[in-house]
Amino acid sequence: MRHDVTKTDNPLIKKLAANETALCLAVRLLRLPHVAHMAKAAGFEAIYYDMEHSALSAEDCSRLCIAAWDIGVTPLVRVPSKDAHGISAALDGGAAGVIVPHVDTAAEARAIAEAALFPPLGKRSVAGSGVGLGYAALAPADAYAKLNERTLVIAMVESEEGIANADAIAATPGIDMLLIGTNDLCAELGIHGQLDHPKVRAAYDAAAKACNTHGCTLGIGGIKSGAMLADLHKMGARFLLGRTDEALLLAGAKDEAKSLRQLFA
């Protein structure tokens, strides 16, 4: 990884740099800061707020990111697109990193890294200390170096083109992680829902080799099979997305309804 863990205060970066597995809870519905506390109580190191597939606003995400920082859970935001303004706005709002969907080429990877990082590493617009540093009074050079050090730039690879370019994407300066969006990848490959298909395993193998070569983290999204997760962990995957809050709520509600009805069967 490009980070100096002696300087960063991002606990997720420290965990990944130590080659430890980190779990991330995905949030689409809940808009109260309680969700970060529940994520920590459940044993998640990180939480990501999904602006791509929900009605969460920038204001929602900012408020939730601040709450997560306060209790030591690393807050990430999946932005809706590769738009540079959306990336910098999420980070200005308090995110410790951005998850950028549908990154297919090294040029796209370079553009998102430049949008997320301040000069000399990128081209992100300077906005002052702000919420990302708790409004600390730091010299500009120190402030932006610190923000660069604590920011994770995560490229989602979700297409056949993206997998073909995995090595070049992982080699892009500023990219910290390749996160495989397995469901979208299956859709692109014409194998909807076949998460353990040989083509999916081959895609993960290619991404793992790229990450191991260039010092990136390999992230997993969408895989629920314990056997496949174990295989991917052996390949080097260390970042795992759990189910979304809506999926967990629905599953829990179904179990509760079933158990209650059994009382009256």
The domain limits of the chain are 11-262
Measured CA to CA, the distance from residue 157 to residue 217 in angstroms comes to 13
Q: What is the dihedral of CA 177, 178, 183, 185, to 10 degrees?
A: 170
> Inter-axis angle of helices 226-235 and 198-214, to 10 degrees?
30
pTM above 0.75, yes or no: yes
* Local confidence band at 208 (pLDDT 50, 70, 90 cut-offs): very high
Phi/psi of residue 219, each to 5°? -115, 150
The confidence score (pLDDT) of residue 84 equals 97
User: Which whole number is the average pLDDT over 213-240?
Assistant: 93
The confidence score (pLDDT) of residue 225 equals 84
> How much helix, strand and coil, in percent to the nearest 5, is found in the chain?
50, 15, 35
Peptide bond into 120 cis (omega under 30): yes
* Local confidence band at 106 (pLDDT 50, 70, 90 cut-offs): very high
Beta-strand pair 46-50/22-27: parallel
Phi/psi of residue 120, each to 5°? -90, 0
Catalytic residue among 3, 34, 37, 53: 53
Which residues are 53's β-sheet partners?
none
The confidence score (pLDDT) of residue 132 equals 76
Q: Does the domain formed by 11-262 have CATH 3.80.10.10?
A: no
User: Which whole number is the average pLDDT over 214-230?
Assistant: 91
Mean pLDDT of the chain: 94
* Local confidence band at 27 (pLDDT 50, 70, 90 cut-offs): very high
Measured CA to CA, the distance from residue 33 to residue 30 in angstroms comes to 8
Please report, as a single letter, which amino acid is at residue 145.
A
pLDDT: is 129 or 146 the higher one?
146
Least confident of 42-51, 87-96, 126-135: 126-135
* Local confidence band at 68 (pLDDT 50, 70, 90 cut-offs): very high
Q: What is the pLDDT of residues 36-61, one digit of tens each?
A: 999 999 999 999 999 999 999 999 99
User: Which whole number is the average pLDDT over 144-164?
Assistant: 95
Which residues are 49's β-sheet partners?
27, 77
Annotated active-site residue 53? The verdict is yes
Q: Please report which residue ranges of 178-223 form alpha helices under DSSP H.
A: 182-189, 198-214
Measured CA to CA, the distance from residue 108 to residue 100 in angstroms comes to 10
Least confident of 97-111, 132-146, 244-258: 132-146
Q: Give yes or no for a contact between 220 and 232, defined as CB atoms under 8 angstroms apart.
A: yes
The confidence score (pLDDT) of residue 224 equals 83
CB burial readout 42-70, b (16+ within 10 A) else e: eebbbbbbbbbebebeeebbbbbbbbbbe
The confidence score (pLDDT) of residue 7 equals 87
Measured CA to CA, the distance from residue 102 to residue 181 in angstroms comes to 9
62 has pLDDT over 80: yes
Measured CA to CA, the distance from residue 116 to residue 148 in angstroms comes to 8
Least confident of 70-74, 173-177, 232-236, 261-265: 261-265
DSSP, collapsed to helix, strand or coil, labels residue 193 as: coil
* Local confidence band at 20 (pLDDT 50, 70, 90 cut-offs): very high
